[in-house]
Amino acid sequence: MYRYDEYDHALVRDRIAEFRDQVTRRLSGELSEDEFKPLRLMNGLYLQLHAYMLRVAIPYGTLSSAQMRRLARIARLYDKGYAHFTTRQNVQYNWPALKDVPDILAELADVEMHAIQTSGNCIRNVTSDQFAGAAADEIADPRPYAELIRQWSMLHPEFSYLPRKFKVAVVASANDRAAVRLHDVGLILHDDAEHGRGFEVIVGGGMGRSPFVGPTIRRHLPEGQLLRYLDAILRTYNWFGRRDNKYKARIKILVHEMGAEAFARAVEAEFERLGDANRDIDRLAETEMARLQAFFAAPAFEAVAAEPAHVLRAYDQDTGFRLWMDHNVMSHRQPGYASAVISLKPHGGIPGDATAEQMEAVADLADRFDAAGEIRVTHEQNLVLPHVKKADLPVLFAALARHGLATANAGLVTDIIACPGLDYCALANARSIPLAQKIAARFDDLQRLADIGEVKIKISGCINACGHHHAGHIGILGVDKKGDEAYQLLLGGSGAEDASLAQIVGPGFSEDGIVDAVATVIDTYLSLREGGERFLDTYRRLGADPFKEALYAPA
């Protein structure tokens, strides 16, 4: 993984010293809250429903074991013994005291982490495929490109005050595991004989109150021109993006209102202009990419048995292990290795939460079982050990189970994305987490979950859609109905390569009613599915009508 050089270290340390001074001035009264608020937000510090909340960046979701241990230490020393992994592959602390935040940032800097650009109208943490460098289907590891974008965007003076926040995702396989079509900019790496290696560039996707599946504005961008093209996109957005209305300021609105073709023409014109004046950026990108690739070299894989006999025996004899293998273990490009998804969705738990003890256990297991000693955070709020020898999987499963981390539900009904909702968030209209817990209780049978198959349920507590309800096979949106929590049900979304936006099926439900509604939708699917159809396949084949009928027809 990437390691800081002297410039990175100096930049982050300088920023901490600056923020420490700002906090001191705030506490002394020299800075008012109006003056301090934008400064704290630039350092990832929000004031949420109950307390301050600190959001820490995890670039493209990659963590070392030492970094995970430090996150656990911060949770224990400065928070309430736990942390929350987010849909942006970041981590949040819900209870830090303002006076402690500079010390927390110093602790993070010790392990080459920070909270810069985790808030504000700037380019946020670049996200990517949680199986990067491990996936059997990838063209190349997308993380060097993500790191290049991270460095380019870090404190970029031209792009620090954009009309609104800006989110970039990069993948390098045909299977989209980072929801690239639902980002401000999505990049898909292609490599073909005719064009060579380059990116499909998608702009103007997003969720929130105005959801869009982003259109492709460039089919093939040579990889060496990536930064120049991103400069052109950001300049076009910075120039034309609206600043008069917060709700119309995201690039998706600009692309929608200009039209994708007109927007693409404006970007191409700026791209050419930058090319005439400033081809140095292409050379810089190529030179830096060559340097960055070395940080992401594959770990030293061993030549091991592709299918160890004792693992096959355990698979046949232990139902729990078999279910975990079937759903939480992913194929790896290296024979004899696999990637293991560590579910942070125990039934009855809080999606994305991990205790300090669990984080330390995961760090220890990464050291013991992962060839790179790495952990990944997924946008679905789980963790991954990317490079595990298949021979070690039974022992890993048992160790995870001892820490409540072996729930065999990855991609299944109870692997629910849920935003913090009204339990934590100052913006929310309704709670999300209790719904996830009630749905998990309703489907608390791992074999039944396996029989139902892939269903992605995503819950947001308000229209801002942090829980990605627009991209849920089954989406749930919390609303305020005259002071009471109520929930709308949406069906048919996808954040994958077949991206689509879920549609509201009809009148909303109460808290208990929405759980019954989800059960009704699942039962209807089971009664209608053909062959090996997933829920989404059945929905797309039949449309919403049979589900509406089951949900709303008089008994």
Partner 1 sequence: MPKKKPQGPWIVTANDLLTGRVVFLTAAGDWQGEAGQAAVAHNDDMADYLMDRAQADAVANLVVEPALIGAVLDGEDRPRPARNREAIRATGPTVRRDLGYQSAN
- HSE at residue 418, side-chain half, CA atoms within 13 A, is 28
Query: Tokens 């942070």 label which residue?
Result: 344
Q: Does 541 bind partner 1 (CB under 8 A)?
A: no
d(CA 67, CA 4): 13
In terms of CB distance, is 44 or 215 closer to partner 1? 44
In terms of CB distance, is 129 or 353 closer to partner 1? 353
Pick the closest to residue 205 from 228, 223, 181 (CA basis).
Answer: 181
d(CA 65, CA 383): 12
In terms of CB distance, is 86 or 429 closer to partner 1? 429
Dihedral angle over CA of 11, 16, 21, 27, nearest 10: 150
Query: Looking only at Cα atoms, what is the longest distance across the chain?
Result: 70
Q: Which of 39, 49, 304, 526 binds partner 1 (CB under 8 A)?
A: 49
Q: Which of 162, 433, 521, 551 binds partner 1 (CB under 8 A)?
A: 433
The secondary structure element, H or E, covering residue 328 is helix 319-328
Q: Does 424 bind partner 1 (CB under 8 A)?
A: yes
d(CA 134, CA 52): 37
Q: Does 437 bind partner 1 (CB under 8 A)?
A: yes
Quick one: which segment of 28-36, 210-218, 253-261, 494-502 binds partner 1 (CB under 8 A)?
Answer: 28-36
Burial class (CB within 10 angstroms; exposed 0-12, middle 13-18, buried 19+) of 220: middle
Q: Does 27 bind partner 1 (CB under 8 A)?
A: yes
Q: 10 Å Cβ neighbour count for 519?
A: 14
**Residue 365, amino acid:** L
Min dist CB 84 to partner 1, Å, is 11
In terms of CB distance, is 173 or 437 closer to partner 1? 437
Pick the closest to residue 418 from 358, 487, 357 (CA basis).
Answer: 487
Residues 69-98 that bind partner 1 (CB under 8 A): 80, 95-98
Residue partners of 192: CB distance under 8 A and separation at least 6: none
Q: Does 41 bind partner 1 (CB under 8 A)?
A: no
Size of the site for partner 1 (CB under 8 A): 30
Q: Which of 350, 365, 440, 452 binds partner 1 (CB under 8 A)?
A: 350
Q: Does 29 bind partner 1 (CB under 8 A)?
A: yes
Q: Does 526 bind partner 1 (CB under 8 A)?
A: no
Q: Does 459 bind partner 1 (CB under 8 A)?
A: no
d(CA 413, CA 55): 28
- What tokens appear for 143 in the block? 């993380």
* Strand 127-128, strand 168-171: pairing: parallel
Quick one: which segment of 20-28, 199-207, 298-306, 531-539 binds partner 1 (CB under 8 A)?
Answer: 20-28
In terms of CB distance, is 296 or 424 closer to partner 1? 424
Min dist CB 51 to partner 1, Å, is 4
Min dist CB 422 to partner 1, Å, is 6
In terms of CB distance, is 151 or 355 closer to partner 1? 355
Q: Is the CB of residue 8 less than 8 Å from the CB of residue 112?
A: yes
- What tokens appear for 349 in the block? 């738990």
Residue partners of 314: CB distance under 8 A and separation at least 6: 321, 394
Q: Does 423 bind partner 1 (CB under 8 A)?
A: yes
Q: Does 245 bind partner 1 (CB under 8 A)?
A: no
Residues in contact with partner 1, shown as a per-residue x/- string from 466 to 495 under the rule CB under 8 A: -----------------xxx----------
In terms of CB distance, is 50 or 291 closer to partner 1? 50
Burial class (CB within 10 angstroms; exposed 0-12, middle 13-18, buried 19+) of 66: middle
Residues in contact with partner 1, shown as a per-residue x/- string from 115 to 154 under the rule CB under 8 A: ----------------------------------------
Q: Which of 9, 99, 273, 310 binds partner 1 (CB under 8 A)?
A: 99
- What tokens appear for 21 in the block? 């001074």
Binding site residues, partner 1, CB under 8 A? 26-29, 32-33, 47, 49-52, 80, 95-99, 350, 422-424, 428-429, 431, 433-434, 437, 483-485
